[in-house]
Amino acid sequence: MPGRSPTRAGTAAASSASEDLSTAGGADPEAFLESLPTAQLEAMLGDDEALKKAAAQWLKDLPAARALEDVRRQNRSVATANVALGRSIEEARGHVAIVRSGEYAAMRALFEELYARQEAVIAKMGPGVLLAKVREEADKADAASDELLERFQAGTLSVEAFVDAYVAAREAFHTVDLKRQAAEHHMLA
């Protein structure tokens, strides 16, 4: 190699060798070295940088190197997920701080006040109370028709007046009694 310095010759040989690395040798270093021409080997021995590049290229194609790169990729994705999870944790800490702050106590007091108000309304107008009122109305209507019957039997009412009043009273009783039955059925369901 006249007119060339050993460094330039080594660099040229190293770049030529790195092109051959992907096709020659595979995972076996002896096969890799045997596949290179003698001139390239001599040039790589004279230039440490070229030798390091050729070795790095050869190592990059090994299954272990590919596995290492896969692990690095997985670590990067896990690290990215951890950073996102860190943001979520910070957000949750903010929510916890709000709960621990005075806003929570005020909201809880408001909730308990509204809950007590609802319980008071249910006590006055809940389903049980309404059902009791419907039962009471049915009993009143039944008692009213019984009173008409007693008055008729005592002779204080005429037949026509009794029949008209008694039919109206029984009709009112049955209407209220049907409402009571429907309410009881609804409460049981």
pLDDT tens figures, 93-150: 888 887 777 677 788 888 999 999 999 988 888 888 888 899 999 999 999 999 999 9
Let me know if residue 89 belongs to a domain.
Answer: no
DSSP 77-95: HHHHHHHHHHHHHHHHHHH
Tell me what the mean pLDDT of segment 79-99 comes to.
87
The whole-angstrom distance between residue 72's C-alpha and the CA centroid of its chain comes to: 30
Phi/psi region, residue 25 (left: phi>0; alpha: psi -120 to 50; beta: rest), is: left
Let me know if residue 69 belongs to a domain.
Answer: no
Distance CA 119, CA 76 (A): 56
Distance CA 112, CA 109 (A): 5
Q: For the chain, what percent of residues have pLDDT higher than 90?
A: 33
Give the list of residues 6+ apart from residue 126 with CB closer than 8 angstroms, or none.
none
CB-CB contact of 7 with 38 (8 Å): no
Distance CA 126, CA 105 (A): 29
Let me know if residue 100 belongs to a domain.
Answer: no
Let me know if residue 179 belongs to a domain.
Answer: yes
Domain that holds residue 23: 6-61
Considering only residues 187 and 111, tell me which one the structure prediction assigns the higher pLDDT.
111
Q: Which of 44, 61, 78 delimits the end of a domain?
A: 61
Q: Which of 23, 38, 61 delimits the end of a domain?
A: 61
Let me know if residue 97 belongs to a domain.
Answer: no
CB-CB contact of 36 with 24 (8 Å): yes
Let me know if residue 164 belongs to a domain.
Answer: yes
Q: Residue 142: what pLDDT?
A: 93
Domain count, the chain: 2
Tell me what the mean pLDDT of segment 160-182 comes to.
93
Let me know if residue 48 belongs to a domain.
Answer: yes
CB-CB contact of 131 with 180 (8 Å): yes
Q: Which of 40, 61, 82 delimits the end of a domain?
A: 61
Q: Residue 27: what pLDDT?
A: 63
| CA distances from residue 138 to 18, 144, 156, 178 in whole angstroms, order as listed | 103, 10, 25, 9
Considering only residues 183 and 21, tell me which one the structure prediction assigns the higher pLDDT.
183
Let me know if residue 12 belongs to a domain.
Answer: yes
pTM as predicted: 0.39
